[in-house]
Chain A
Amino acid sequence: MFAFTVRRVAQAILVMLIISFIGFSIKHNFGDPVRELVGERVTPQERAEIREKLGLNDPFLVQYGRFLQSAVHGDLGRSFFFKKPVTEVILAKAPATLELVFCASLIVIGLSIPMGIYSAIHPKRFFSRLIMGFSIVGVSVPVFLTAILLIYIFSVELGWLPSFGRGETVRLFGFWDSGLLTRDGLLHLIMPSIALSSIMLPLFIRLIRSEMMEVLETEYVKFAWAKGLKPRRVWYVHAFKNTLLPVITVGGVQLGIMVAFTILTETVFQWQGMGAMFIESVSRADTALMVSYIVVVGFIFVVVNTMVDLIYGIVNPTVRIAGRK
């Protein structure tokens, strides 16, 4: 298990290097840091001096090395719009996004597992057909439409839920603005979480259902029946544990993708998170902020995937053996 962990972490670092390289290439080619620093009223000579002083005339790889070095120390540059280090800007926005993704993941995991199992065990029952019908609708309707529909029904018509913003937040540990601890904050979370989960939930249900149906046909499940085990034991221990393996691999990636999916949801609900920030930074051509968003989201993605692989190793005994060698 230890060797396996080390190998997975090494892979994660390699992926991060590639992401940072891509991010840096974008920054290198699209932004002009001198313009960001000094504005329009500076003579070409002065510009050239500043360029030289900032090391912008150095070879690409040397500059990339410098970028990496400061990135490791948590310095990804300065946002020219906010006039602050980008890490500070992102850190202020990240809690909103992460809490949204967290709640959406809870909805996805909490609902997809029972629904997927049920529709796999009783594929012909009315409720299973209902689940499958809804999941097709859920996959096909785009997130922004779901979001607008939710706002129309629950905010405009019924007036039950707030339509935008995070509501009242509580500051934790000095930097984390949490909406999870106040009633108002939780009310604000409901619709964005549902909208964000609306794509992933049907995908997960279908994934769990099809994997589980396949597992139920295997010889070892048939043997479990022949041993006279109770149905619950066969379904939840024999079949579901084997269903989990492929679901964890695919599901982990999908949960990571949700971080990126927040861009749409956050825009519709004016959720002050990283996604909305990214859209704004694009429209302002704030390259440092754009790049750091890419690197941070890439980082979250890699961390989630590495954790998923480690969990997979715990569930699947053959992986553990391979790691022991």
Chain B
Amino acid sequence: MDKLLTINNLNVDFTLRSTTLRAVNNVSLSVNKSERLGIVGESGAGKSVLGFSIINLISKPGRIASGTVMLQGEEISSYTYEQMRQIRGNRISMIFQDPMMTLNPVLTIGEQMRETINAHASMSAADVDAICLEKLRKVYIPSPEKRLDQYPHEFSGGMRQRIIIAISLLTNPSLIIADEPTTALDVTIQAEIMDLLLELCETEHMGLILITHDLAVVSQVTQRIAVMYAGSIVEQGATEQLITNPQHPYTKGLLGALPQRASRDGRLNQIPGVMPGLAKIPEGCSFRNRCSLAADICLTQPVLEEKTSGSQVACHMVK
């Protein structure tokens, strides 16, 4: 299979006054051409930082400390600012969490679409408009000609997310990074948006990195899942396998906490404790303080390796 994106041993640090916090810890993963990968984890696990670090757009004072990001064989993590700018929104597009906040309130939809094309290509205004309309139709925006001159406040949340998806399609990217694209929407709209994303990825042959805490969503859309905990990937494998046969105690805990999987009269499973803050990650296995299987060996850091189930798991206790 062709590798679309490969991340090797990526570390992202946030340097504060006195300390350096590691938000992404030695993460390696890859996405094949037109493959859909889910990154799952609790809030603060480092999923979003990982997503933004791919296009080197981490909020200050975060920075990539080491590791490489390869896009279709090119090492984009060593690119200059201008080279990276030409990747952003062009070969890799992003979709953000809250569509109410993502569009600029004082610019029309048309302006916000056209500028994306103009930032990456030079073509006539008529051609630009034709592409904008084509993409708006793709996301099922009715009468797109009228919509171009409207402002974001004239759209509902679901419509805005469609427009944002249309913006992300403008340059025919090979990869879309969707950072919790449905979290801010209500449940019925969530399903519509996820269906749309899935459909577009298939018809346009795009790769997708879906960052979410919603296991139900991720299991329906993606082909592979990486589970993140406290900045590291603890388990990675094919979606089907990971959902039906989770190996890492944390993944088991996450799945056990899903209401639709629990029996009617049983109590919902909870993972005891909370995820540690970045400053308080224990040495060795970062999950050991919450883990029922923890033993002395867990004081040394486990490596992510393939286990008998077929998934890659970072746990000493899994065979």
Contact = CB atoms under 8 A, between A and B. Distances in A.
A228 B85 contact: yes
A317 B115 contact: no
A224 B104 contact: yes
**Which among B55, B104, B151 has the greatest number of chain A C-beta atoms within 10 A?**
B104
A227 B105 contact: no
B98 A219 contact: yes
A227 B167 contact: yes
B223 interface: no
15 contacts: A220-B101, A220-B105, A221-B104, A223-B96, A224-B104, A226-B89, A227-B88, A227-B93, A227-B119, A227-B167, A228-B86, A228-B87, A229-B116, A233-B119, A241-B104
B139 interface: no
B154 interface: yes
A160 interface: no
A225 interface: yes
Contacts of A45: none
Contact of A222 (B96, B120, B151): B96
A242 interface: yes
Contact of A241 (B93, B98, B107, B154): B107
B77 to A, nearest CB: 16
A282 interface: no
A218 B101 contact: yes
A242 B105 contact: yes
Contacts of B120: 228
Given A227-B119, A315-B106, 13 more contacts: A220-B101, A220-B102, A222-B96, A223-B103, A226-B96, A227-B93, A228-B88, A229-B85, A229-B89, A229-B116, A241-B106, A318-B151, A321-B153
Contact of B119 (A220, A228, A245): A228
Interface string A210-241: 00000000111111111111100100011001
Nearest to B103: A220
A225 B102 contact: no
Contacts of B167: 227
A238 B104 CA distance: 7
A226 B88 contact: yes
A228 B90 contact: yes
B57 interface: yes
B154 A228 contact: no
A241 B94 CA distance: 23
A222 B104 CA distance: 10
Give the dominant DSSP class at A's interface. helix
Contacts of A218: 101
The interface size bin for chain B is: 20 to 34
A235 to B, nearest CB: 13
A225 B119 CA distance: 11
Contact of B105 (A223, A226, A318): A318
Interface string B89-124: 110011010100111111110000001100110000
Nearest to A221: B104
Range for the number of chain A residues in contact with chain B: 20 to 34
A182 interface: no
A165 to B, nearest CB: 45
A223 B94 contact: yes
Interface in B150-198: 151, 153-154, 164, 167
Contact of B57 (A226, A242, A318): A226
B225 to A, nearest CB: 24
Interface string B45-85: 00000000001010100000000000000000000000001
A163 B144 CA distance: 64
Interface in A16-72: none
A318 B119 contact: no
B119 A317 contact: no
Contacts of B103: 220, 223
Contacts of A221: 104
Contact of A321 (B89, B93, B154): B154
Contacts of A233: 115, 119
A317 B152 CA distance: 10
A224 B116 CA distance: 9
Contacts of B89: 226-229
A229 B167 CA distance: 13
Interface in A94-133: none
B85 A230 contact: yes
B119 A229 contact: yes
B85 to A, nearest CB: 5
Nearest to A244: B106
A133 B164 CA distance: 42
Contacts of A228: 85-90, 116, 119-120
A230 B106 CA distance: 18
A219 B119 contact: no
A315 to B, nearest CB: 7
A229 B151 contact: no
Contacts of A316: 106
A226 B151 CA distance: 20
A224 B108 CA distance: 14
Contacts of A315: 106
Interface in A121-152: none
A37 to B, nearest CB: 58
B105 A317 contact: yes
Nearest to B179: A226
Nearest to A217: B59
Contacts of A321: 151, 153-154
Nearest to A320: B151
Nearest to B120: A228
